[in-house]
Structures are given as C-alpha cells and as structure tokens.
Structure 1
C-alpha cells in the first residue's frame, strides 16, 4: 500500500487536444500512476482513478459515499450550492436509503416498458427527419434532431409539457457549463427547481397514470407515503439527465459515423449490428467522465494507494474505457469489439436508471437517420466544430450537416 506525499499536484479538469480522445494526461496517469491526486477548481484535492478494474471496484465499495452533503465531497465546479428544500436525489444517496428509493422507480425503466415506448420514439424521430427534409438541404443536427428527440421522449415519459423545453434546456446548459458564474448558476438552479415544484404540485392535484410523475404520485398515495420534495428531486434528476446526455451522444455518434465510413457501412448493411455500434460509441466517448465521484468514509486501498477517510475520489470513466488492459486497441472505434463491460453508464448500485431508454433512442436515431438520408455529410471541418469542452457533459453545441 502506498501513501502519497503532500507535494504539488496537477490541476483538474484537463483539456482535450483531440475531440475524439480524452486529455492526453489521462493516458500518462493510467500508465504511471493510475490512482493520482489532483487539485480541483474549488481548491480541494481529490484522487482520480483511471483503470477500469479500479473504477469498477471503487463504485461497488460501501466505504465510498455518494452523499454530496459531506463537506469533503469533491466538487468540480466552484460555487455549487444546495437549496435547503432540495431533497437528496438517487445519485446522492447511500445504502440503505438509495436501494429503497431506486426500487420505487426502477420499474419505470425496465426493458419491457422501454419496448412499449419504441413505436412512439420511432414516430418522434420520423417527424424530426420529415421536418429536416421538408426544407432545403442542410441543418444544424443538434437543433433539428439531437436535442428534440430525447427532450420530447423524456417530456412525454415524465409528463412535462414540451412547450417548456426552451426554458429547461437553457437552464440545464448553464448548470452543466463549468464556467457559468456562481450567481447565474444559482439562479438557473432556482428557476428550474421552482418550475418542477409547480409541475409536481399540479400532478398531485390531478394525477394520471400515463406519465411517470403521475404514477409516482398515485403509488405514494396508495402506500400513504406522499413525498413532494422527493418527487421534485426525482423530476430534476430525470429531466436534466434524460435529455442532455442522449442529445450529446446523438450528435457525437453521428459525427463519429460520418468520420468512420467503414464503421457506418457495418450498420447500414446490417441494422442488427446497431446495438453493438451504440455500445462502442458509448465506450468511445464516455461523455459523463466525472459523474461518479465519491468521498471516503473510511480508509480504503484503491489500486495499491491508501485513500484516507474524508478524501474525495473521482472516477475518470473515459480513461477507464480506454484502458488497454480491458479493451484491445482502445483508441480505435471498432463495432466488431462487442465489449459491453464499459462504465459509460457507471457501475454497481448507482448504474444509470435510463440506460435502456438511451440505448433504444440511439439505435432508432442512427438506423433511421442514415436510412432516410443516406447522403448525409458534414457541412464544416471537424476542426471548426464547437465542442463542449467547457461542460461537465461532453458534446457539441452545433453540428452542421447537409445532404
């Protein structure tokens, strides 16, 4: 077991030099010091974990807590705050509270329930592509397809009026941008939380069974366990995570397919391979690289390094998903790989609830987009594209395409 001396450490997060690869420093850390200390923009020090086996072990160890109320929890963004009435959400809970809360909602995201949504998702994708094809050739794919599809899907799933999508997307963008000033971040948080508070209040007054929030209200009443603040917190988590992550994967995935025509040909020739392609794209980009931070509540050894109680730990998912010990030629996009043991959706008890939905949306979008617009191509150089290097969820601000 190794203890690291109190010496100068690297600043984190680090900057990508290639839009298709994690920062180069991650490779060096993974090879030379797979559990390394860094300094965060908040002034805190934390450990970063870069190897897949260590990440998977870390995410299943109860000595590492997800509770962001812990003053030592590693915060990437300065100025983050919590309102007293914002109840802990699933991603911030530990056992046994987490297990109970997850069981109450996990039935909403089963493969069977997601399959039932498939025709409606297909309809939404077709409608958006119809709108693209109705005009002259050319569009910003982010605005035309990537954002509307998951936004419409999550709105219908939760029972959120889609007419409000500009409101919540604008505020989500501020929350996910690392450089948003603290006062603007707080205002965006308050406005979005107040909006969802009013939405849940409306569901409580007239609950229906055709959306998730309405069903949760009815379930709570049947159990005599009404929890308004808990539903607001759940709605916040699902709304933000349910559209932003998938939207960015649609944009990045489309770009990768256009830049790798040999891989695109695989799914064009055999759509049964698209799910394999989706898994590889998820591994390749790992857009939520630091979504699974923890704080040690006991001393713990990770990768041969002693992490003391009270120290923060950050998983670098995109470094772990490029680990050559787990994936052969990890920097190559390879739809033949068949590797489903990536950690793009996290791992363990906190693994992403909506992963089945995300996979289905991506599969439908890629199959439909390239079948209906086979001549799709970039309308700008990759070097000129505006990537979200300033965001906690990686993606593209715009993706100009033509056909």
Structure 2
C-alpha cells in the first residue's frame, strides 16, 4: 500500500487497502485531537498560549492529513507529516512538562508513535522505516532540550518507536500478501470459469452443427441412399436447396410472425399433415428457429420410422405438438449415437430456453411436444 498507488478497489487487496486507510485516518485524527486537548491542559507554566497555538496548528494539519488518507494518500504525505511532527517534537520545551518527557507520558511522544506506525500502511518499506527514524530523532532532540537530566528515560521510550514501526510494517506485509494470494486464487477461478464457458460454447456450437448436418444433408442423403425417394424427384432438388441454405446459416427465422417458417417445413414434409394453427405466431427469433428445426426433425422421424404417411400438428401460442399413430418406440432405449431425438429436438429447444418432451411406446404411436414460455 503506497501513497498514490493502490490496487483495484474491487479486489481483496484493494478492499483491505481502503478499509485500513480509513481506519487509520479516523484513528490518527482522534489521537491528535485528544492528545492535543491533554497537551493544552498540561501545558508548562508560562507557555499556555504557545502550547494552544501549536496544538491548534497540529489539529488542523491532522484534519487535512486524515481527509487525504481517507480518499487516497498522495505521494509524499508521510514525509509532510514527518516534517510537522519534527517541528512539534523540537518545540517540546514549550509544550510538554519536563517530567512528562522523561517518563514518556507527553502528548508529543504519543502522536509521534502512532504516526510512524500508521506511515507503514501508505509508504514503501524503506521510506516508511526512514521516516520513523527521522521522527524519532526529532523527538529525542526535543526531549534533550526539554529535560537533559531525564533524557535517558525519554531515549528508552523513543527507541521503542522504530520497533513499533517495524512491527507495523511486518503486519502490513503479511496482510497484503494474504490479500494478493486471495486475489490470485480468485483470478485463477475466474480464468477457469472463462475457459469452461468457452469450452461449453465450443461444444454447444459443435452440437448445433452436428444437429444441423443431421437434420439436413445427412437425412436427405440417407433417404436417397436407402431408396426412399428417387434422385430425380422434384422433392430431392428442393430439399437439397433448403439443406444448403440451412448449412450456410441463411435460414434463421426473422423477428415477427414465425408461422410462415413452420408452414414451410410442414409443406416440405414427406408426410401429410393435419394442421391446426393460429393466424399468427409471435416468437422470439431464437425460439422460432429452434422450434422450426425440431418440427422438421419430428416430421422426418414420422416419415422414416413410424410406418405412417400422415401426422397431426397442433400449433398454439405456447407449444407445437406433433403426433402420429405409427409403431412407436421406447425413448429410453434410443442409442446415444442417434442424434435426432437428443440433439435435433431436446437439446435444440433447451438451448433456446424451451422444452421438448417425447412420449411413445411400441404400437401406440409417438407424440412430440415442443413448449416455450410466452414473453
């Protein structure tokens, strides 16, 4: 924690820095005001006025010092404080009774001790220790001028001041290191989250691409390869055109009425559809695109697996239901390598914030229900 330099306030180190500086600002101001009041009350005889003027000056400086420390200590603040403390220490013959100097009970030594301890929290290590030594030296010189015969007692008290500064510096260093370790741990955790998010996005894109391939070119080629349609039929040519557009990413449903996009899928289907639908279907583009793809896959499954040539599609403002009376299947027995139900229907709706449910049993037909939340 250095004057004019601080970490990001939102980090653990930054929060520690701000809290410490504000606590120190309040504590320093309280010590200066209370110590000054006691200094006036115990002023040496004949020096009451001088003591009062000095105390008022020190108190005014302490208010400014605390204000700067509360916000963000500028460079050189500690040295300005040392200059003030040194002057006050040299003026002890006017402000502190000789006996108080000798036994370490004067208000000046209290202010100096607290100040050098606090300096360690907003200075560099070398600067902080040197400032403590300078302030201590000024105090000892002032104590000599005040009470030469009691100077040994004052020297013993003053010698402890740099030790206090060193201990404060050690505490500061340990807390800062702990805060930085916490910040580093948080940075690693955030980096891991970002990497996981990127990896999931890549996997989602791969799943979407695999679903698109399954729904378009793979399905069309499979039907042609199995002889389910003739390669010269108009349907194949139209379906190949739609597949190419889909793979090129040119067929996302636009904002507004999604019904025309669903009707296009129904009209292109190889099964006859008994349709019930509203006049308009307002859906968000991402939901409409997902529903369209899932509807296409559901109708393809009817054509390929049900043994039926027709299906019932019911479209409402909150769902699309596709059902057939075909031979049905057991959804839980579908192999994982079969992407149609999982990727092209369930995952596609889930990625858009919707839901898909498949109900089927051997000999009982199949119902696919696509749902979404209305805006």
Q: TM-score, normalised by structure 2?
A: 0.19
Higher gyration radius (CA): 2
Q: TM-score, normalised by structure 1?
A: 0.18
- Higher helix proportion: 2
